[in-house]
Chain A
Amino acid sequence: MSEATAHHDAHAAPTGFVRRYLFSMDHKVIGIQYWILALVAVFIGMALSFLMRLQIAYPDTPFAFLEALFPKGAEGGQLTPEFYLSMVTMHGTIMVFFVLTTAPQGGFGNWGLPIQIGARDMAFPFLNMMSFWVTFLAFVAIIIALFFAGGAPLGGWTGYPPLSALGPEAGPGQGWGMTWWIISIALFCVASLIGSLNFIVTTLVLRCKGMTLMRMPLTCWGWFTTAILSLLSFPVLLGAGVLLLLDRHAGTSFFLPSNLVVGGKPVDHSGGSPILFQHLFWFFGHPEVYIAILPGMGAVSQIIATCARKPIFGYRAMVYAIFAIGGLGFFVWGHHMFISGMNPYTAVAFSVLTLTIGVPSAVKTINWLGTIWGGKIRFNTPMLFSLGFVSVFVSGGLGGIFLGQSSVDLFLHDTYFVVGHFHLTMGVSAIFGIFAGTYYWFPKMFGRMMHEGMGKAHFFISLIGVYLIFIPMHTIGMGGAPRRYYDSTSFKYLEDIISMNSMITWAAFITIGAQAIFVVNLIWTMLAGKKASDNPWEATTLEWICATPPVHLNFDEDPVVHHGPYEYSVPGAEKDYIMQTDPPSAVPAGTPAQH
């Protein structure tokens, strides 16, 4: 501990704007940088989904404004198929990497992990700064891909070869746009790898006196587990990305088999396997789902306990469940590949293992319900989004019970059922987690309280909206409508069911519109929001003993922890919450000791 302290004393508060806000090594500034990057990305991603929904609901209707915006991509006011598919690809890529991975872990994790475990900063502040700026470069690369002449990539966020490996011969969007897309993802992998090492070391080495592992807030367990998943999965995707680049530009054949004929011309490659890429991709891709959701689970657990004024129900079980979900996440990637052509016997194992993830998920849900049971819930905006998270997570998670079964997946694979399922779980749940975290920590990050009325309006419209968007998508999928379709109106068997698409599109427009309330709230709060007190939610964890916003190196003196993170409503105690740093005597004699 003393060595680490000495190390931190060495990095003094920077002066100058550039070192303070731009190339800062302060974990809080870096966290906010990640959060702002995700905020920019989420609005780009949402704008793309607006265009997609417009096309899906009105495939035959020209819109003059589309032609004005995209003279080439929407000639005559109608999107071209390649433009539509590049929207699909960029929406997926931007959302998965630059929102769902960036905000919960890079943003809140960076801002919150050191402060919640009583550390002065991350273990490696310089690496931390580097991981943000490499992420930023990755974002620049994806924006370049979006605008590259010759078309943005259109391989979907999964970018399966051979389509992604063949180059311009394979059609529009397979030229330099695809190359930049791969470069972006490779850079993102490098950044995540650096970041995850930092998180793991920080958690294991820099906890303050008294902060045993089993006294860590569940947020820290979420970030810590996520970091382990990132450490083990991103290098595999990086490898896949590099091999794909070599196939495209160095003449190798990792993913390209012999005897290909593309556009009528034989292709000079031999010996590769397209399925190999899918194994590498999903070995990363499935843990990635949990990388997006575990920090949200942590934040939501934290907020639910705080706002229900109750200890978290089953703290240990919650920790084990996070680890179980993360661990099982490495053994189920094959359920994305039931129809890929891999050995059909493996499907048996992947099916059974996938459905066992229901166990830790059920434990978490039971414990969230157990936490609000018998509490006194304060319905502030962070709590609303947290409870919304629980509801949406249950709704989305159950879709996995269908898709995890190889037999049922034969029909549902790559239909809208899948689209509805993963949007509710890794999309909406994770974003609700991000919003919950934003409303919850904003007062500490920026010193002002966000507006409650606007927050509530934002929440309720969003909650109703996402149910009206994504549940009907399951229904359309039950009818067998394939995803990534520019136009499904020519199928007889879909005639009835796809009439739901216009309703979904309108629900999506309203939900997207409701996000404007959030933006207005942000701006209003920054300019005129009420000043926040040091502990506005009356929470127990260490960030709330800091100044508002916390000073450089967080604490005036090293904190010492005496209590678990969720000691609310302890019978006989003075207040209804006991700070982790309160003296041991804060708990009245005779109360069963915890942790």
Chain B
Amino acid sequence: MGRFFGLLIWALTAISVIVLLRGVGAAPEAISQAGRDIDSQFYLTLAITGVVFVIAQGLLGWFIWQYREGREGTVTYIHGNNKIEVGGGVVIGVVFVALALLGQKAWAALHLAGETEDALHVEVTGQQFAWNIRYPGKDGVLGETAPQFVETVNPIGISPRDPAGKDDVMSINKLVVPVNRPVQLNLKSLDVLHDFFMPALRIKQDTVPGLSIPLRFKAEKTGTYDVACAELCGQGHYSMKATLEVMEPAQFEAWLAESAPSEE
């Protein structure tokens, strides 16, 4: 029994390593520096925890194999060993805390760095179950919104009284951004919590009614990418998808002009 069980622990360890290695590179290609930074922190963590995992399970399997009841010799009567207990705790503590501190770099770059001047501002408003995306028009200013103006053709309730709102560009479930230019999303919600998750950028952020939460990124590769809702928002949660389209700047400007509301 001991031998079988010990071998089984090793086998499960090996299977786990193989299955987890299948996840390496499973995420879509990271298209931003921040995304690559998060990836390298992830893989560093994977390497360190992988070593701890194999050592711990290896010892467990070995001791189970070795110290079965029928073995020769006597039981070692011992109540502990401070050096091993404290030493093991300290080593783990130093490594894990160092890892946590190192991980702050990527977090700080994303969330603690201030606004960049040339950033493109885009407003994203979640609602059950769609993403309303809004760009300021030529005036560079978004019009005010209020609940009483919400209707099917005006899903976020842009005020008809505010001239700044006349030229706002609306896009449903499609976020278009120029490549290599900093973007600041201002995330909002009309009703319940949602979460704007862009896997190719490795970031997600809840949208919270009552708050406007900034989320900054710079996409470095053109293409079309999936965006998912990552906070349970009701029965249609799974269907609340959007796409992120990263375009050449000229192409983006053309798209923006094309999508602008016709002059009345």
A residues bordering B, Cβ < 8 Å?
Answer: 80-82, 85, 154-156, 160-163, 166, 170-174, 257-264, 266-267, 272-275, 308-317, 339-341, 344-345, 347-348, 351-352, 354-356, 358-360, 362-363, 365-367, 369-370, 372-379, 384, 387, 390-391, 394-395, 398, 401-402, 404-408, 410-415, 456, 460, 463-464, 467-468, 471-472, 474-480, 482, 484-488, 490-493, 496-497, 500, 568-571, 576, 592, 594
Contacts and interface: CB of A to CB of B under 8 A. Distances in A.
B174 interface: no
Given A471-B15, A480-B199, 4 more contacts: A259-B209, A259-B210, A408-B41, A491-B241
Contacts of B192: 160-163, 166, 170, 262
A413 B206 CA distance: 11
10 contacts: A154-B232, A160-B192, A172-B235, A314-B79, A317-B85, A345-B112, A348-B104, A362-B93, A367-B80, A569-B77
B49 A401 contact: yes
B206 A379 contact: no
A402 B103 CA distance: 10
Contact of B78 (A313, A406, A471): A313
A548 to B, nearest CB: 24
Interface stretch (B67-75, B159-167, B248-256): B67-75
Contacts of A262: 128, 190-192
A126 to B, nearest CB: 41
Interface string B36-49: 01100110011011
A312 B76 CA distance: 12
B148 interface: yes
A9 B192 CA distance: 57
Contacts, number: 355
A271 B5 CA distance: 59
Contacts of B209: 162, 257, 259-260, 274
Interface stretch (B134-142, B176-184, B223-231): B223-231
- Across the A-B interface, the 5 shortest Cβ-Cβ residue pairs: A257-B210, A374-B76, A478-B23, A314-B80, A479-B26
A394 B67 CA distance: 20
Contact of A340 (B63, B85, B206, B234): B206
B264 interface: no
Nearest to A410: B203
A12 B126 CA distance: 63
Given A171-B128, A359-B89, A405 B67 contact: no
B119 interface: no
A484 B77 contact: no
Contact of B12 (A367, A391, A401, A570): A391
A330 to B, nearest CB: 18
Give the interface size bracket for B toward A.
35 or more
In this complex, the member of A359, A390, A404 whose beta carbon has the largest number of chain B beta carbons within 10 angstroms is A359
Contacts of B90: 359
B101 to A, nearest CB: 7
B234 A379 contact: no
Contact of A313 (B80, B127, B193): B80
A171 B112 contact: no
A174 B23 CA distance: 37
B193 A274 contact: yes
Contact of A356 (B41, B96, B202, B211): B96
A478 B50 CA distance: 15
B259 interface: no
Interface in B201-229: 202-206, 208-211, 213, 225-226, 228-229
Nearest to B22: A475
A407 B96 contact: no
Contacts of B46: 402
A339 B206 contact: yes
Contacts of B69: 376-379
A311 B232 contact: no
A81 B92 contact: no
Given A170-B128, A369-B59, A376-B69, A493 B79 contact: no
Contact of B27 (A162, A264, A360, A411): A411
Nearest to A88: B232
A565 B27 CA distance: 50
Given A260-B147, A260-B209, A264-B150, A376 B64 contact: no
B60 interface: yes
Contacts of B231: 160, 414
Nearest to A491: B226
A405 B99 contact: yes
